[in-house]
Amino acid sequence: MATLMKAKLIVAVALVAIAAGAGFALLTRKSDAPEVRFVTLAGQNFTTSELRGKVVLVNFWATSCVVCVEEMPKMVEAWKKFSPRGLPFKVALDTDGAVASGFGGVRGTPTTFLLDKRGRIVKQYLGEPDWAEFHALVERALAEPA
């Protein structure tokens, strides 16, 4: 695994804008996501607070990371599953490590954070996620009110 100091990380940010459904409390303890600024490959800028009201996936990965490359098709499958419900996929670069630093000094890749509509961290994965659990958590987060 490459460290952030040695490799530029690509941050895949999956956003979901879904109408609020029935409230369902997630059992995981949640803490507020850090306020960071993302810059996409297309040059779009946005901050964590601007994503409130959406379910957000922040995935730190590197092209030099074998596990990252192996997990990406499963990330794409997840995107395809949830995209009919409004899941755009944006890729941002963390060239100076500020985003990774903001998320607690991410040191290894892949590292993934799932944020709820209120901007709270629902779950952090180091390494490839348990995909069944991941899909269930996304479903629950989508069902929560904003």
Domain of residue 50 covers 9-143
Tokens of 18: 């879904």
- Cα separations in angstroms, 5 against 103, 106, 118, 123: 15, 10, 31, 24
pLDDT tens readout for residues 76-114? 999 999 888 877 788 999 999 999 999 999 989 999 999
- Give the total number of structural domains in the chain: 1
Examine residue 1 and state whether it is found in any structural domain, yes or no. Answer: no
pLDDT tens readout for residues 21-45? 222 333 345 799 999 999 999 999 9
Residues in contact with 20: Cβ distance below 8 Å, sequence separation at least 6, in sequence order: 117, 144, 145, 146
Amino acid at 140: R
Examine residue 2 and state whether it is found in any structural domain, yes or no. Answer: no
Examine residue 13 and state whether it is found in any structural domain, yes or no. Answer: yes
Examine residue 103 and state whether it is found in any structural domain, yes or no. Answer: yes
pTM (predicted TM-score): 0.80
Burial of 56: CB neighbours in 10 Å, binned 0-12, 13-18, 19+:
buried
Examine residue 34 and state whether it is found in any structural domain, yes or no. Answer: yes
Domain with 93 in it: what CATH number?
3.40.30.10
Check whether the bond before 88 is cis (ω within 30° of 0): no
Examine residue 3 and state whether it is found in any structural domain, yes or no. Answer: no
Examine residue 124 and state whether it is found in any structural domain, yes or no. Answer: yes
Examine residue 119 and state whether it is found in any structural domain, yes or no. Answer: yes
